[in-house]
Structure 1
Amino acid sequence: MTGVLRVGNASGFYGDRFDALREMLTGGELDVLTGDYLAELTMLILARDRLKDPAAGYARTFLRQLEECLGLAHERSVRIVVNAGGLNPAGLADAVRKLADRLGVPVRVAHVEGDDLTAAHPAGPDSARPGQTATGSLATHAYLGGFGIAACLREGAGIVVTGRVSDAALVSGPAAAHFGWGPGDYDRLAGAVVAGHLLECGAQVTGGNYAFFTDHDPDRLRRPGFPLAEIHPDGTAVVTKHPGTGGVVDVGTVTAQLLYETAGARYAGPDVTARLDTVRLSQDGPDRVRVEGVRGEAPPPTLKVGRNRLGGHRNEVAFVLTGLDVERKAALVRSQMEDALGTADGRPAEVRWDLVRTDRPDAPTEETASALLRLVVRDPRPEAVGRALTGAAVELALASYPGFHVLAPPGKGSPYGVFEAAYVPRDGVAHEAVLDDGRRLPVPAPPDTRVLAAVPEPPLPAPLPPGPVRRAPLGLVAGARSGDKGGDANVGVWARDDDAWRWLAHELTADRFRDLLPETRALTVVRHVLPALRALNFVVEGVLGEGVAAQARFDPQAKALGEWLRSRHLDIPEALL
């Protein structure tokens, strides 16, 4: 087919705006509506659900949304493609069929299988912590591509349910089905993958979580509309939203989302490696951004696998330190707690103290006069982090620093998860489309593969000529967006004009990045340069420990790491200010 394919998004995560499915179906023209419900943490949540109920393991919210909207989608001939199947796509597909029968809506429901490798990989590497033994996997899933989705749609499915596919596959699959693309159409597929990456986080591309949100009328940002992409036969796309909805779509919001949770110039997926250094963005009218020029390469010979397992047990106590002598108060309670740490069922394998100086001198409120001292403990044994430990903290209530209190009562601790990324050969994954009538269609592997390699750093623009500078926050001249990938984080930073880019490209080196964010000084930081976007992308290895579920730091998904960077002061040329 040659017509434009309109693909919308109604969910960026499990728990996103419930009404978005209806809003997207009623707000304007659509051909396909997608929903992304899965994330690394979500897979762990669904795995724990399945431990309690073997019939669970999928995003139940989607069923409730569909109950309100299935008739609408059928009336408007909108196909729905979601990864809400999670760990049990067959179960969700059956539940959708029962719902459709109850509502009297004729719809063919297909699903995609092959991602679940849990049985084939029951155990994983031992933890690095002393005494930790390997624990079985709760969920081990390969990231599949879009051709299973395409096969379902080509066979007439009105609803396609998947488990773990790449987020962008929810868009590239429908595009491949609509335009008849094959596995070797790398440039076209890459364009659709970039469009899928832009849509996958919902309102984040229409003004949500945007660094320069103060440039826009607050009323426009109160309720951003969800995005859609008009995809053309050559893979070019226009990102926009339904008329009259809130939010903003401009080159800045699209740049921010393009940099989100990516790394270098090669954005690898199961079907194609998209070259982010070839992406060209241009304003195509109000709330319309054209995305073109995307080049694609053969995908890697392996598939990414996400493995979620229980890492052990965790507990936390937050001591409140108010007023004067905060450092000495912290030292006193730490020394008092050492006795409990050493005797409560054996010292925990990991003990971490963090003093957070939220206090200020001569504060007008008690809260702003207070700092927090956080004690976090982890261990494979629940008893090592249980009530004996937190109870010991409470026993100090009348025997420690003046003003002693804690933020929450003692608890028994809770299990935490660990996310691990690995890679497996493609021939070990049986990708299949399962049709409404029960037929199974094997999805062939791509005809070629290419080992992923870093792109050499391109030439930098000429630096700005010397001139007067002023100490000011980086965020006055640069935007940023950050996010998590397992234990790593990425921070994408971009300039909005050529002069700011000339300065940024030379000033913000990996070493400068570490200086501005002291928490990263001991870590590996890799800088990637994307001149066509006037952007730098930094990957900070290991900053999130064992991933979001392990809650290794204050901001466990690194969502605000970029905003911290923008708040840091450095010498900026006055010409830019």
Structure 2
Amino acid sequence: MRVGNASGFYGDRHSAVREMLTGGPLDVLTGDYLAELTMLILGRDRLKDPARGYAKTFLRQLEECLGEAVDRGVRIVTNAGGLNPAGLATAVRELAGKLGLDGVRVAHVEGDDLGPRHPDALTAHAYLGGTGIAEALRAGADVVVTGRVTDAALVTGPAAAHFGWGQHDHDRIAGAVVAGHLLECGTQATGGNYAFFTEHEPAALLRPGFPLAEIHDDGSCVITKHDGTGGVVDVGTLTAQLLYETSGARYPGPDVTTRLDTVRLTQESPDRVRVHGVRGEPPPPTLKAGLTRVGGHRNEVVFVLTGLDIEAKAALARAQIEDALDRADSRPGEVRWELARTDRDDADTEETASALLRLVVRDPDPEAVGRSLTGAAVELALGSYPGFHVTAPPGKGTPYGVFEAVHVPVADVPHVVVLHDGRRLDIPAPDTTLDLTDVPPPPLPEPLPYDRDRVRRAPLGLIAGARSGDKGGDANVGVWVRTDDAWRWLAHELTVERFRELIPESRGLDVTRHLLPGLRALNFVVEGVLGAGVASQARFDPQAKALGEWLRSRHVDLPEELL
């Protein structure tokens, strides 16, 4: 079965649906539109109009391409339903009628909404698995719309329906989970955001094609892309995606617990990588659920500091603003300063001679972050450091969101499929579950013997790739190398203590290191580094997308033989 992907997030390439439908044969086309931040955006949409709450761009894509999908016999599975899968399913039926495609059968999956149990949350949704999707497809659905499901469920559901897998086919389902994880972020599997991108021709990376998986009955697959499309599919690009937003050897989900330490990647030919050997265990007895809330209001101002005495200029601006905030009617509850030394000595442009001093304030009261900060910053225009100006004047405070992950018993969450003919099917919870316990870490490889007098101080990224991302308030940083000798060095060199030295921001936080020898990889989870999640914008890089690249840029003593 050939399963393609045409969206990795809400806002991905609009033309991807048509490109995937017309670029080559497919059985199923999936689209992932949801992320933690997206749920907050859709929640605010729903406040304005209760009939909304779904990804509107999906409808526009379908208007252009539904006829193409019907003609080619490609079924469409998407989580674009967001907070309102029933509403999107109705909209798709209406669209099909308008296009003269009255025979299109549309089903949707619901039950993930936990809002009544969390009335103080803007959104509250459990992550369902792929079983409901499978039942909808078995009943003949052409389009399946879901709310919050795991990203991999968009692939496990179609695979289970196609091959007739049952809930106890853990190894097969785990293989499909890996395929789904590799597809879910679209072009990140085909060369996008790839650490070693300079090793590929720039023309190949100009417009990466979207990935597809050729899935087999045993759960193995080949990840590839349509012939003639851009990008690269190789062991490196897939290793990077496998490490994205995961943690240790066990990857729990509602369908299965996937053993990432069993994944094997083999380059079969250009742009074709075989994924095999994956093992699975029963799923945990709980489901992850994501809650989003409005956390308060925030505002910011960025002061531009140019030329000489950058530190002194920053100190003066900070002292003046702090004094003004102290004298204001309401001082913000949180005040954070950050100085980015983007300036250079003897610069030949004013921009490269300038540093940026960023001030972020937060408070439940919009007045405390609005009028107070605006007055404090604007009134300094003629009475502060030489060359005073800001990138933009502060305006009114804007609300920000926070994300919280909780776990609920799987039996407490309804999983319901509403078929194209209106019938409702209750999906039973798994009859076998596994309480996750720590997997004993695999043994460390023998350390690499090398001449310690022949080391070179150089960036870690000369030999190691990295991919990082967010999970709520935590960040993960996956680091991998491409030779056995480099793995023997990395596994002993990049300890938790060494990671904290290289990433000072992680000092004082809980950092866990996981070994994945089959991928020659380490995965670090840094707890709390992102505050209350991406929507809270707690740091400069709120989703930790570049945290891995920062790590790669840090200098370490590299054995010359590895270079």
Under a length normalisation based on structure 2, what TM-score does the superposition of the two structures give?
Answer: 0.99
Partner amino acid, structure 2, of 1:120: R
Aligned counterpart in structure 2 of residue 439 of structure 1, from 423, 447, 450: 423
Decide which moves more: 386-395 or 534-543: 386-395
- Is the CA contact 1:264–1:454 (under 8 Å) kept in the aligned structure 2? no
Aligned counterpart in structure 2 of residue 523 of structure 1, from 509, 515, 519: 509
Report the counterpart of residue 189 of structure 2 in structure 1. 205
Deviation of 1:241 after TM superposition, in Å, equals 0.3
**Are 1:497 and 2:490 matched, yes or no?**
no
Aligned counterpart in structure 2 of residue 98 of structure 1, from 94, 103, 116: 94
Deviation of 1:498 after TM superposition, in Å, equals 0.7
Cα-to-partner distance string for 1:98-133 (whole Å, 9 max, x where unaligned)? 0000101120000000000011211xxxxxxxxxxx
Deviation of 1:378 after TM superposition, in Å, equals 0.4
Cα-to-partner distance string for 1:138-157 (whole Å, 9 max, x where unaligned)? 10000000000001000000
- Is the CA contact 2:112–2:126 (under 8 Å) kept in the aligned structure 1? yes
Report the counterpart of residue 60 of structure 1 in structure 2. 56
Partner amino acid, structure 1, of 2:52: A
- Is the CA contact 2:316–2:384 (under 8 Å) kept in the aligned structure 1? yes
Partner amino acid, structure 1, of 2:264: R
Cα-to-partner distance string for 1:436-491 (whole Å, 9 max, x where unaligned)? 11110000111111112222221111111121100011001000000000000000
Deviation of 1:552 after TM superposition, in Å, equals 0.5
Q: Distance in 2 between matches of 1:170 and 1:343?
A: 55
- Is the CA contact 2:304–2:391 (under 8 Å) kept in the aligned structure 1? yes
- Is the CA contact 1:391–1:410 (under 8 Å) kept in the aligned structure 2? no
Partner amino acid, structure 1, of 2:483: D
Tell me, what secondary structure is at the counterpart of 1:538?
A: strand
Decide which moves more: 261-270 or 328-337: 328-337
Matches within 5 A, 1:21-170: 21-105=17-101, 106-122=103-119, 136-170=120-154
Tell me, what secondary structure is at the counterpart of 1:327?
A: helix
Q: Distance in 2 between matches of 1:446 and 1:340?
A: 59
Aligned counterpart in structure 2 of residue 448 of structure 1, from 432, 439, 447: 432
Tell me, what secondary structure is at the counterpart of 1:557?
A: coil
Partner amino acid, structure 2, of 1:46: L
Q: Percent identity?
A: 78
Report the counterpart of residue 15 of structure 1 in structure 2. 11
Aligned counterpart in structure 2 of residue 509 of structure 1, from 490, 495, 514: 495
Deviation of 1:426 after TM superposition, in Å, equals 1.2
Cα-to-partner distance string for 1:532-570 (whole Å, 9 max, x where unaligned)? 000000001111001000000110000000001101111
Q: Distance in 1 between matches of 2:450 and 2:187?
A: 40
Partner amino acid, structure 2, of 1:275: R
Partner amino acid, structure 2, of 1:445: A
After the TM superposition, list the runs of 4 or more consecutive aligned residues in structure 1 that deviate by more than 3 angstroms. Answer: none
Aligned counterpart in structure 1 of residue 448 of structure 2, from 445, 464, 475: 464
Partner amino acid, structure 1, of 2:59: L
Q: Distance in 1 between matches of 2:328 and 2:256?
A: 53
**Are 1:564 and 2:550 matched, yes or no?**
yes
Tell me, what secondary structure is at the counterpart of 2:448?
A: coil
Unaligned 5+ residue runs, structure 1? Answer: 123-135
Deviation of 1:523 after TM superposition, in Å, equals 1.2
Cα-to-partner distance string for 1:419-446 (whole Å, 9 max, x where unaligned)? 1000011121110010011110000111
Deviation of 1:387 after TM superposition, in Å, equals 2.4
Q: Distance in 2 between matches of 1:321 and 1:387?
A: 24
Partner amino acid, structure 2, of 1:506: H
**Are 1:176 and 2:160 matched, yes or no?**
yes
- Is the CA contact 2:330–2:372 (under 8 Å) kept in the aligned structure 1? no
Matches within 5 A, 1:53-452: 53-105=49-101, 106-122=103-119, 136-452=120-436
- Is the CA contact 1:484–1:559 (under 8 Å) kept in the aligned structure 2? yes
Q: Distance in 1 between matches of 2:486 and 2:364?
A: 50
- Is the CA contact 1:175–1:231 (under 8 Å) kept in the aligned structure 2? yes
- Is the CA contact 2:28–2:158 (under 8 Å) kept in the aligned structure 1? yes
Q: Distance in 1 between matches of 2:207 and 2:322?
A: 49
Deviation of 1:340 after TM superposition, in Å, equals 2.4
Q: Distance in 1 between matches of 2:450 and 2:485?
A: 13
Deviation of 1:410 after TM superposition, in Å, equals 2.3
Cα-to-partner distance string for 1:3-57 (whole Å, 9 max, x where unaligned)? xx10000000000000000000000010000000000000000000000001010
Q: What count of residue pairs does the alignment treat as equivalent?
A: 560
Report the counterpart of residue 133 of structure 1 in structure 2. none
- Is the CA contact 1:250–1:289 (under 8 Å) kept in the aligned structure 2? yes
Deviation of 1:327 after TM superposition, in Å, equals 1.0
Cα-to-partner distance string for 1:356-394 (whole Å, 9 max, x where unaligned)? 111111111111111111111101111111123122211
Q: Distance in 1 between matches of 2:162 and 2:370?
A: 56
Report the counterpart of residue 531 of structure 2 in structure 1. 545
Decide which moves more: 502-511 or 449-458: 449-458
Partner amino acid, structure 2, of 1:70: L
Report the counterpart of residue 130 of structure 1 in structure 2. none
Q: Distance in 2 between matches of 1:139 and 1:410?
A: 29
Under a length normalisation based on structure 1, what TM-score does the superposition of the two structures give?
Answer: 0.96
Q: Distance in 2 between matches of 1:319 and 1:79?
A: 52
Q: Distance in 2 between matches of 1:557 and 1:454?
A: 27
Q: Distance in 1 between matches of 2:437 and 2:326?
A: 48
Deviation of 1:339 after TM superposition, in Å, equals 2.5
Tell me, what secondary structure is at the counterpart of 2:414?
A: coil
Report the counterpart of residue 125 of structure 1 in structure 2. none
Cα-to-partner distance string for 1:399-423 (whole Å, 9 max, x where unaligned)? 0111100110120110000010000
Q: Distance in 1 between matches of 2:426 and 2:108?
A: 12
Tell me, what secondary structure is at the counterpart of 2:539?
A: coil
Q: Distance in 1 between matches of 2:396 and 2:283?
A: 47
